[in-house]
A = this chain, B = another copy of it.
Amino acid sequence: MTWPDGATHAVSITVDVDGTYGLPRGGEGSSERLTARSERLYGVVRGVPRLLDVLAVAGVSGTFYVPGAVAIEHPATIAEIAGAGHEVAHHGHRHIRPGLLSAAEQLRELEAGVDALESVIGSRPTGYRAPEWELTPDTLAALPSLGITHDSSLMCDDRPFEVTAGEGTLVELPVHWSLDDAPHFARGGDPHVLTSIWDDELVCARAERRHISYTMHPEILGRPHRVCVLERLVERAAAGGAWLAPHRDVVAHVAA
């Protein structure tokens, strides 16, 4: 593959802004758990600005996957993300794992998410990522008719590929748990170890001249002592000659 401007490889920074909907079953039954809710809320209030600052300093545009209900609850923050040039994409409506819902409910979640994002940022999303990375056949099949052209929920390759979705196709930009901050910090991980792992992955992507997506959460990587992981990642990506681009631009390039 070749990348714009002679870049050796391509890197996407993706951020899942789950807010309190990131709690189990989208926070259903957790309304009285003030501390658990406040831990998630930190991501929107403090984590997002911190991540945005790092991206602004580095001049990097990323893709922010946002559940519709989070956009409705925090419209100014989500509009600010879009206004800074980042892609705002679909991450369900209430961030409920699709596999827990019927096909009809899955469709309603998808439609509600599109409507919510459109109402907040003024345009319909073209990218989708399944809540909790559990894509189902019903959700996948419904995506093209909603205007979605790319998905980022599968792990069966480490290069962009085409995936059949109902009667259409999508570009898949694959992910992996080792490229996600959540498992690493689930039990108090060391940021320096994650920096080392993510840098090794960068070296591999460069050697294979391919695209790679990193996934982070503002309530996790946006904590003060962890944001250095993103700082070093974008520094090293740029120093290595990568094209740093949001998913929509990677898809446009791959399709062209």
Contact = CB atoms under 8 A, between A and B. Distances in A.
Given A42-B156, A45-B156, A134 B33 contact: yes
A145 interface: no
A189 interface: yes
Interface size class, chain A: 35 or more
A136 B33 CA distance: 6
Interface in A165-211: 174, 176-178, 183-193, 196-197, 200-201, 204-205, 208
A188 B189 contact: yes
Contacts of A112: none
Given A35-B154, A99-B32, A156-B45, A187 B187 contact: yes
A197 B191 CA distance: 8
A185 B200 CA distance: 16
A34 B187 contact: no
Interface stretch (A57-65, A115-123, A223-231): A223-231
Nearest to A43: B156
A101 to B, nearest CB: 11
Given A45-B157, A178-B226, A183-B187, 5 more contacts: A35-B155, A38-B154, A38-B174, A46-B158, A192-B196
Interface of A: 32-39, 41-42, 45-46, 99, 130, 133-138, 140, 153-158, 174, 176-178, 183-193, 196-197, 200-201, 204-205, 208, 223-226, 228
